Structure 1
């Protein structure tokens, strides 16, 4: 690449970097505001929190549903990164249940995002939600497989069982702390008993 071409491409790279930073700021602001006020918060409030104009918001996220999906994907990606990090923890059982505890903390908000975005079969948003959901299942599967391999949990425990029961705790509980208490009770049933000393 000659110097002139490099000099012409530098402003384009700077614009792309600015656009990416604006999108990240919008998603971060939306996540905070959705946590504080629910997914129906006014979009101009999101733009103000992110420090950008409404035109910038709509350029990145033409509809509320687009923004809701982006926040859901961001939450799911953060949980998957957390799971990947926990695979390096010495206690496989502890890593699995730490991740499920994190998942519980996000479940209510993520469910609200899915419901608010709506959509149905063939809707592009539904497909994006599905892919993010599959990533979460894959993360749970990796943590569960490691926990089974080390004998930390019952060998017949399936990832579908684990996630269904965790979700049931989130739905049945009166708040996140109560859901976490239910998860601690379930953990005692999932874990293998220590061998007699």
Structure 2
């Protein structure tokens, strides 16, 4: 993303602006944390702050939109009857490493926002769906639960949030392999 402002195309550009803002938010939150300046997201997306606030009036709105987009991708994967739990876990890992800061919010006990609770519920549902099908489960232990996977993802997210960016990819890869070893039989 260039960070240079695009020509104003008015309402016709709304969908493209929204997509650019979501992509910029993922990058910005990953690099600078959830408290990153919102104007940095707008600059990274190449749009004005007005466009940012038209689509996402609050910080929480853009964070929830990023989560929703990630969950939609996971739900699409799970909707494919041939998809496996390993593929789902791989996609979750990719999302986690791209935006580890967001996963800090996925702590059910801390969730007072019903929108976040709904997203957490959707994540549990797709994990439970793949875990309940022995053919999809693959090498994941029979006693592994959605809660176990959720906890593992949360632990990895917390670790990545404390890891300097230059080491994040290698730490993520090593940690993910360890977590998978614990989930497999």
TM-score greater than 0.5 by the shorter chain:
yes
**In structure 2, what is the equivalent of residue 161 of structure 1?**
148
Q: Note if contact 1:148-1:154 (Cα within 8 Å) is conserved in structure 2.
A: no
**In structure 2, what is the equivalent of residue 61 of structure 1?**
56
Cα 1:179–1:102 shift into 2, 3 Å? farther
Cα 1:88–1:60 shift into 2, 3 Å? same
User: Within 5 Å, which residues of 2 pair with 1:16-95?
Assistant: 18-85=13-80, 87-89=81-83, 95=84
Cα 1:153–1:184 shift into 2, 3 Å? closer
User: Within 5 Å, which residues of 2 pair with 1:1-197?
Assistant: 15=11, 18-85=13-80, 87-89=81-83, 95-107=84-96, 108-112=100-104, 114=105, 121=112, 126-147=113-134, 154-168=141-155, 171=158, 175-189=171-185
* Alpha-carbon distance in structure 2 between the residues aligned to 1:69 and 1:151: 31
Larger-gyration structure (1/2): 1
* Alpha-carbon distance in structure 2 between the residues aligned to 1:96 and 1:120: 26
Aligned Cα RMSD in Å?
Answer: 3.1
1:65-104 deviations in whole A, cap 9, x for unaligned?
Answer: 222222222222223323334x314xxxxx2123223323
Tell me, what secondary structure is at the counterpart of 2:34? coil
State how many pairs are aligned: 161
Report how far residue 110 of structure 1 moved.
2.5
Cα 1:44–1:168 shift into 2, 3 Å? closer
Tell me, what secondary structure is at the counterpart of 1:21? helix
Given the two structures, how large is their TM-score scaled by the length of structure 2? 0.69
Could you tell me which runs of 5 or more consecutive residues in structure 2 were left unpaired when the two chains were aligned: 1-9, 164-170
* Alpha-carbon distance in structure 2 between the residues aligned to 1:76 and 1:131: 11
